[in-house]
Amino acid sequence: MNDTPANDDGVGADPVLDALALAPVSVCRPARLLSPFVFASPHSGRLYPKSFAGISRRDALTRRKSEDAVVDELFDCVVDFGAPLLAARFPRAFVDPNRAPGEIDPAMFDAPLGVAVGGRTARVAAGLGVIPRVVRDGLEIYRSRLAPREALFRLERFYRPYHAALAELVAEARAAFGVAIVVDCHSMPPPARGTDVVVGDCYGESAAADLTAHVQRSFGELGFSVTRNAPYAGGYTTSLHGRPEQGVHAIQIEISRALYLDETRMEKTEGFRACRERLGRFAGRLMAANGSWRPAQAAE
């Protein structure tokens, strides 16, 4: 395989990668910031560089199986309520923003890495580190090992800009309202027991208890079947930003794809519009409510 990242002497040969490197994220801001909530979609990116496809052993549809497909579109209504929406434009199979930067498998590379590597976590062992080795169902992505500079390129040009943008939005919310609330938006394969939504707060560590309860209750009142922290309690984003004692709360939301997506074709179903409308009503309830997580001046 060609071990040169396409930002080197391959500039112009991969226009998708060039465009992503220039704008790795999208930030939809409201005309006026009215809410301390910050919505984020780290896994709905669906622009696949030609160079990435060329080193993959999987077809285009299989590579997409790792996406939280169109979750950014499900939640884009939050901008109408005065909250920003951050979304990664690059695909999760390329680099995963919901992992720690050191969650990387050195065995994926053909020489020692020039980036810090953390311990071998369960996610890394499963092939689901910051640079994933597999897509859904444990299917290997690559034909052969990668060059080390590929790791540096992806972390510096995609991963770090995503987190810089999220940190900026959190800081803006805190400055305006004295508090920030990160809502990390994901999708999940339909659970065996038919749950529509899983709300994760890292087992009570990343958000105030009444905030999590309000999120769960709001989903239930809109007809969603909802559980808390099982099987998804929250990932890197919620654990990184969830510091309730410092005025930053973080909650992860997983929406069942059965509500809106044909996973065999990765296309919206007729249920998409209804699901999006219900999530809009959920967002309205969420951002209109007051609680211990929202200082009195933020409610004015």
Which is it for the CA torsion 88, 94, 114, 116, positive or negative? positive
Which among 94, 97, 83, 102 has a CA at the least distance from the CA of 27? 83
Q: Which of 24, 282, 280, 294 is nearest to 173 (CA)?
A: 294
Residue 195 domain flag: yes
pLDDT of residue 8: 45
**Residue reference for tokens 């285009």:** 60
| Number of structural domains in the chain | 1
CA distance 223 to 206: 25
What local confidence, expressed as pLDDT, does residue 115 receive? 79
pTM: 0.93
pLDDT tens digit at each of 300 positions of the chain:
334 454 444 446 899 999 999 999 999 999 999 999 999 999 999 999 999 999 999 999 999 999 999 999 999 999 999 999 999 999 999 999 999 999 999 999 999 987 778 878 899 999 999 999 999 888 999 999 999 999 999 999 999 999 999 999 999 999 999 999 999 999 999 876 789 999 999 999 999 999 999 999 999 999 999 999 999 999 999 999 999 999 999 999 999 999 999 999 999 999 999 999 999 999 999 988 777 777 655 444
Domain with 258 in it: what CATH number? 3.40.630.40
| Phi then psi dihedrals of residue 233, to 5 deg | -95, -10
111 falls within a domain = yes
Residue 192 burial (CB < 10 Å; 0-12/13-18/19+)? exposed
Radius of gyration for the alpha carbons in the chain, expressed in angstroms and rounded: 19
Quote the CA–CA distance of 227 and 102 in Å, as a whole number: 30
Residue 84, domain member (yes or no) = yes
Does 29 map to a domain?
yes
